[in-house]
Amino acid sequence: MVRNVLFLCTGNSARSILAEAYLNWAGRGRFYAHSAGSHPGGKVNPFALELLQRKGIPTDGLHSKSWDVFAKPGAPNLDFVFTVCDNAAGEVCPLWPGRPIKGHWGVPDPAAVQGSDEEKRKAFLDAFNRLSSRIDAFLKTQ
């Protein structure tokens, strides 16, 4: 049985996208990951896409979307919902179909980093490393 996981962030452009893509790659056949934001920015951060592509992780279909999509009738039943930013963790979330297990994996926002492109790439790599470590640990328990 493939289980559905939703990763939430405010803008759904960086951390939640990285987590969605990595879990779909690392947990293929066992999990189907989704991501969404409480206030989506409407586009995926190009540094997130660049990092995923460098790591050989598929980026097809990744897009910024509202968490409302997953609270509507016909949405997939969710088994797990993880917030990956502190802002989203503090917001009142919709009622999710499937009565999922919820958790919070706070990770600093790489999209908020100011500086050179290399500094931004490092911030995205740091966020990816934190998320992939947590996802790897999660996969070992499931």
What SS3 class is residue 21?
helix
Contact present, 92 and 67 (Cβ < 8 Å): no
Active-site residue identified among 84, 85, 88, 89: 85
**Rounded CA separation 94/1 (Å):** 25
Catalytically annotated residue among 69, 75, 93, 113:
93
Active-site residue (options: 5, 6, 8, 9): 9
Known catalytic residue at 85 = yes
Tokens of 85: 């930013």
- Does 93 qualify as catalytic in the annotation? yes
Whether residue 9 lies in the annotated active site: yes
Classify residue 115 by burial, with Cβ atoms within 10 Å: 0-12, 13-18, 19+: exposed
Query: Residue 10 has which token pair?
Result: 């405010």
**Contact call for residues 136 and 30 (beta carbons, < 8 A):** no
Helix (H, G, I), strand (E, B) or coil at 140: helix
Residues noted as catalytic? 9, 85, 93
